[in-house]
Structure 1
Amino acid sequence: MNGTFNESFVGSIDQGTTSSRFLIFNERCEVVASHQLEFTQIYPQPGWHEHDPLEIVESVEKCIDGAIATFQAKGHSINAIKSIGITNQRETTVVWNKETGEPLYNAIVWTDTRTQALVRKLKEREGHEKLQSLSGLPLSTYPSAGKLLWLIENIPRVRDAYENGTLAFGTIDAWLIYKLNGATERDVFVTDPSNASRTLFMNIHTLQYDPVLLSFFHLDQTKVHLPTIVHSSDPKRFGSLSSTLLTGTPITGCLGDQSAALVGQKGFSAGQAKNTYGTGCFLLYNVGPSPVISTHGLLTTIAFDFQGQVSYALEGSIAVGGSSVKFLKDNFNFINESEEISALAETVEDNGGCVFVTAFSGLFAPYWIDDARGTIFGITTYTKRGHVARATLEATCFQTKAILQAMEKDSGKKLRELAVDGGMCNSDLAMQTQADLISIPVNRPAMRETTALGAAIAAGLAVGVWSSLKDVETLNADGRTTFNPAMTKDKADGMFALWEKAVNMTRGWTN
């Protein structure tokens, strides 16, 4: 169907861990065109995970042109696309030469654990206990800070650039914005608070880089260039595309993927929460205009900064979510496609006594056990592939329950309902299991492109496609599915106690 005469559209770059996508939304927050490309996953050593920064940019540009071809085939005009938003995998670290725009090493991905020994040394430094109150993050292999230090210490080209004062550091959003603007041609070098809050360099209270944090990491700000932190929604600061079929279209919104998903789920107010079941699994709970520093293993992050309206969130990050299903497919050949996991799990009535702690990269929130590794407990001669499949789905649900318990302790409030999105939420079995284990309803939207939608909302707000968050609250909200708990709380608690026992047994494996 062709658009109406003056209809406006917003593009959204969704640069994820395993693929890049470009989606085009109309004013009703509906997807009218999209294109997706997977890109190379590089694993040079156990625990190492890298991406080619130039391949990421190339994949994004191809996705833009691919989606535009579909968009035009439907009778729409490129001129109707008013702006573009960007959402991205967070913490993934890119370094390049500020004078040439050339990457100095592969991007080190957020899941990478090569900094484990470095992080242990940092925990012996004076002042490490103050980091979380300033940045919202604990010291771990997860944030960008350790990745940058490792690069400076171990890669001669990076160390030389640092010593020469030509080293540029950025997360994926900053790298993309820089390259999509033509790199050195315009030198647009910015990030937003939702991404900057994942580096361990930004003060969570001031939304600016903190000299105490930078000093702790022994970083000389005259030798490393950091992107300027700007609002998540801004009509000017992100520049515009210098290539593709959308050359000249302004970039006006930027949000880290999990913040974008919260916005896309319309979680604009304190007390609303969402859980995204992607490569990893990320639960964000909006706590309003003031940060809450966790004392129960959670992170404090920026939900969004829309022209001075700042919302904070408590976050529980699970390193392995959908990637555990991909593991069963690629490494064990249990299934041919990830979508088949539910059917395999439904060939058995329960997990048959199996508990799978999917700690491939250690355990993130609320445990923060860097030296745990993936372990399956309870295998007997009775164990079938279906039991392992069910235990794999349950692993993410158990970790979500642990995060929700921590959030209740930090916020003093019990969540009434959990909004969900991401690939694994397509499994009715997984979502019913989640509702059973957390003993509250799980709410799944019909339109599940919430991460890309969040970036589109940020971009559209900046150019007047929507005048306020109230404008988008009720859009595209039909067709939700609610999964109500069907298991007794005693049984759910008993299963969770066995999970916690298994978690404790994985400690110290890599020592």
Structure 2
Amino acid sequence: GLLIDPYFSGTKIKWILDNVPKAKKLAKNNNLLFGTVDTFLLWKLTKGKLHATDATNACRTMLFNISTNKWDMDILKSLKIPKNILPQVKDSSDDFGLTDKSIIGKSYPINGVVGDQQAATIGQSCFTKGSVKSTYGTGAFVLMNTGNKKIYSKNKLLTTICYRLNGKITYALEGSIFIAGAGIQWLRDKIKLINNAAETEKIVKSLKTNNGIYLVPAFTGLGAPYWNPNSRGIICGLTRDTSQKEIVRATLESVAYQSYDLFNAMKHDGLKPNLVKVDGGMVKNNWFSQFLSNVIDTKVVRPKVQETTALGAAFMAGLKIGVYKSLSDISKNWKIDRKFVPKISKSNRTKLLKGWQQAIRKTLI
């Protein structure tokens, strides 16, 4: 369900095996193991007793077949990656062994392992087909639950595993934005236009419009739906009157525009959500949450608990040990904090998006 891109693990493993002599030697002697971050943590927490992952993390490596639910031998053969370095793939709510006693003096069972964005989807209780969440952290990720059906996008979105329970897969369609909150960090740490992220709301509110300034934060290339690793960031529309305020606003606005690109791709795949559940550090900014709703022309809902990734992993552990009896039981814990509905005219939205599309075209040259 993935596109070939250096963002994923497969080609990185190949590069290491081809270019790091020590890795090549260790692999030859069966002393090398691969894993995503969760695999590494499990290995450390169990003191090397368990080399495992779950299906949601496995499917992000570019090496896992989401139809057969197994490591893909054809891809492994093509990339010359030995299967024995790969972890065992388990359900998202499963028995992942015990933490070693030496860590905190007592041993605890590990019962929930789930990928970052899939965990946020679970934390947002997006268990029904068609439900959507969008997380705004360092990057931004939109996931739509597609039930037991794999939907292959014709618009460069990713087909992925949402979660796997009792061997049964629930699928999702995903769009990835590389730079969201990382753009705010750039404003603060690199060009020093702000002292902290909270300042941005006050700054953007002091401007009536964006004054024609657009920033495309392609600092590490562009993710979905462009998938162009060679693109680089640009700022368009600068005049003598441009101040730091416009650049701050353009950085915030860019995240909403990139979100529009993802939802527009979904629309062209025949999928249009009526409601988007949002979370992550950026959505604490009420101006941003409202602007997002305006741009994507959809109701946006923010939950009371915004650390949905940690919550989703906890829900999976709770499901395994019987704290929760079912997914519908988990859903009862979701509570709304605030709702945002579109408040701008169609003509204003069209004008804003036209400026963004012109900026994107310049980035892709």
Match runs of 1:162-241 below 5 Å: 162-183=27-48, 186=49, 188-221=50-83, 224-234=84-94, 236-241=95-100
| 2:337 equivalent to 1:497 | no
Percent identity over the alignment is 37
More helix by share: 2
| 2:321 equivalent to 1:456 | no
Relative distance call for 1:442 and 1:154 in structure 2 (3 A) is same
Could you tell me which runs of 5 or more consecutive residues in structure 1 were left unpaired when the two chains were aligned. Answer: 1-135
Residue in structure 2 matched with residue 388 of structure 1 by the alignment: 247
| 2:283 equivalent to 1:425 | yes
Match runs of 1:352-367 below 5 Å: 352-367=211-226
For 2:135 and 2:89, the matched residues in 1 are separated by 25
What CA deviation, in whole Å up to 9, does each residue of 1:455-505 have, x standing for no partner? 00100000101111111212241x421111011122212211221221121
**Is 2:27–2:85's contact at 8 Å kept on the other side of the alignment?**
no
More strand by share: 1
For 1:207 and 1:243, the matched residues in 2 are separated by 35
| 2:13 equivalent to 1:148 | yes
Give 2:231's match in structure 1, choosing from 354, 362, 372. Answer: 372
Compute the TM-score of the two structures, normalised by the length of structure 2.
Answer: 0.97
For 1:399 and 1:246, the matched residues in 2 are separated by 47
Give 1:307 shift: 1.5
What is the aligned residue count? 365
Give 1:241 shift: 4.2
**Cα RMSD (Å) of the superposition?**
1.4
Relative distance call for 1:418 and 1:246 in structure 2 (3 A) is farther
* Letter of the 2:263 counterpart: L
Q: Larger deviation: 455-464 or 334-343?
A: 334-343
1:267 aligns to what SS in structure 2? coil
Could you tell me which runs of 5 or more consecutive residues in structure 2 were left unpaired when the two chains were aligned. Answer: none
Residue in structure 1 matched with residue 182 of structure 2 by the alignment: 323
Residue in structure 2 matched with residue 480 of structure 1 by the alignment: 337
Give 1:447 shift: 1.4
For 1:213 and 1:485, the matched residues in 2 are separated by 45
Relative distance call for 1:289 and 1:238 in structure 2 (3 A) is farther
**Is 1:191–1:227's contact at 8 Å kept on the other side of the alignment?**
yes
Residue in structure 2 matched with residue 15 of structure 1 by the alignment: none
Residue in structure 2 matched with residue 257 of structure 1 by the alignment: 116
Residue in structure 2 matched with residue 93 of structure 1 by the alignment: none
Match runs of 1:66-105 below 5 Å: none
**Is 1:306–1:458's contact at 8 Å kept on the other side of the alignment?**
no
What CA deviation, in whole Å up to 9, does each residue of 1:226-273 have, x standing for no partner? 001011101x33433444337311000111010000000000111100
Give 1:368 shift: 0.6
For 1:341 and 1:151, the matched residues in 2 are separated by 41
| 2:128 equivalent to 1:266 | no
For 2:189 and 2:100, the matched residues in 1 are separated by 36
Residue in structure 2 matched with residue 347 of structure 1 by the alignment: 206
For 1:238 and 1:320, the matched residues in 2 are separated by 35
